[in-house]
Chains A and B, each alone.
Chain A
Amino acid sequence: MAKAKQRVHPLEDLIRTERIPHIWCPGCGVGTVFSACLSAIKQTGIEYRKFTMVSGIGCSGRGAGYARLDSFHTTHGRAIPFATGIKMANPELNVIVFSGDGDLFAIGGNHFIHAARRNMDLTVICINNFIYGMTGGQVAATTPHNAQSATTPYGNPESPFNLPLLAIASGATYVARWTMIHTRDLTDTFAEAMAHRGFSFIEVLSPCPINYVRRNKVKLMDLVKKFQTHTIIRNDADPRDLDLDFEKGVVLGKFVDIDRPTADMLYEEIRRRRAG
């Protein structure tokens, strides 16, 4: 084992090893998704200095701090506005927004729909762990109906967001959903989304072992296995069927992949026309 320590993990050049171990709890899916994201960056073959990672606040918001790329850890909910600024200042960059469901859809919900409407050329990775994990497990906009949380001890009376439907309706040009257990599909989808020109949105279902799993009295491995057994892979599915209901089966796959002029292209066109 002492010999193995001197060997190098294949992603070692993309992680800030001086900050490892990261803060994510044992069994947290964020680490797996982060690893898939870095593998995808490697898979695209684009040089690393052409990438920027932006994240907001929350457990998954720590991601930007662990990537050996130019990265920003921004204020709560404002990952997309920062990323928009970066993209408009330097359209050459591949901007990745790596954040959680609370940051992107509750606190930063408005920014998300407008970036999708403008078709900003961003890759938005949303890790959906069904809860506000870092602040103690309060009910979130993505907590399933009847699920327990710190603020809904008798079950959640509300319905969760259907995130891919929201993204499609707002005008996103690439929308997909996977779970953290589908690592190969996830890596390929990330790489495809980074290569895609336009607003790409990928929702990744992931377990929160402390605040969601333990409070709902399920076992971590049971929930992760449910991601395999209670999901259906159906590309181009009707977005109205994409609600989060494990009893019915959660639909995974790539739902939208279209081309539309991006915000920086349209801006450049106007600027050039104005300049004559």
Chain B
Amino acid sequence: MKYWRAPLDINEIPIVRGIVHIIADRCKGCGYCIEFCPREVLAFSKEFNKKGYHPPMVVSDGCLNCHYCEQLCPEFAIYTEEVPPVAGSPSP
């Protein structure tokens, strides 16, 4: 994340990080998670799933565990989990 100036408490506030889990065979390739991810973490993969759609894949480690992809997915095919925060880690 880019800041116009570094916040004074940047080294004190732990930043929540998330990890994205994709259940590829449920995906129908609508692309909502890719289009509406506020951190642009996802993109279409080249592979096909068993129904012949291109499921999303994780292309950056910027996930902040906001759960928006999980809530938006009509297929119950994606969800995020929090990874334990590391105090003092600067935001990428």
Instruction: Report if A276 contacts B (CB, 8 A).
Output: no
A185 vs B73: C-alpha distance when bound (angstroms): 16
Q: Which residues of A contact B21 (CB under 8 A)?
A: 4, 7
Interface residues in B8-53 by Cβ distance below 8 A to A read: 21-26, 28-32, 35-36, 51, 53
Interface range on chain A (Cβ under 8 Å from partner): 20 to 34
Q: Which residues of B contact A22 (CB under 8 A)?
A: 75
B32 and A224 contacting across the interface, CB-CB below 8 Å: yes
Interface string of A195-236 (1 = CB under 8 A from B): 000000000000001000000000011001000000000000
Q: Which residues of B contact A181 (CB under 8 A)?
A: 36, 72
A32 vs B78: C-alpha distance when bound (angstroms): 12
Interface residues in B32-87 by Cβ distance below 8 A to A read: 32, 35-36, 51, 53, 68, 70-77, 79
B24 and A27 contacting across the interface, CB-CB below 8 Å: no
Which residue among B23, B26, B36 has the maximum number of chain A CB atoms within 10 Å of its CB?
Answer: B23
A183 and B72 contacting across the interface, CB-CB below 8 Å: yes
- Chain B nearest CB from A189 CB (Å) reads 13
**Chain B residue nearest in CB terms to A11:** B76
Instruction: Report if A102 contacts B (CB, 8 A).
Output: no
A187 vs B68: C-alpha distance when bound (angstroms): 12
Number of chain B residues close to chain A: CB under 8 A:
25
B30 contacts which of A11, A27, A39 (Cβ < 8 Å)? Answer: A27
Instruction: Report if A89 contacts B (CB, 8 A).
Output: no
B71 and A9 contacting across the interface, CB-CB below 8 Å: no
A4 vs B21: C-alpha distance when bound (angstroms): 6
Q: Which residues of A contact B79 (CB under 8 A)?
A: 9-10
A4 vs B23: C-alpha distance when bound (angstroms): 6
Instruction: Report if A15 contacts B (CB, 8 A).
Output: yes
B29 and A26 contacting across the interface, CB-CB below 8 Å: yes
A21 and B51 contacting across the interface, CB-CB below 8 Å: yes
A221 and B31 contacting across the interface, CB-CB below 8 Å: yes
Q: Which residues of B contact A35 (CB under 8 A)?
A: 71, 73-74, 76
Q: Which residues of B contact A11 (CB under 8 A)?
A: 76
- 18 additional contacts, CB 8 Å, given A20-B76, A183-B71? A4-B24, A5-B23, A5-B25, A7-B21, A7-B23, A20-B75, A21-B51, A27-B30, A27-B32, A27-B74, A32-B32, A32-B71, A32-B72, A32-B74, A35-B74, A183-B68, A184-B71, A187-B71
**What residues of chain A have their CB less than 8 Å away from a CB belonging to chain B?**
1, 4-5, 7, 9-12, 15, 20-22, 24-32, 34-36, 39, 181, 183-184, 187, 209, 220-221, 224
The 3 closest A-B pairs by CB, nearest first: A31-B74, A26-B28, A183-B71
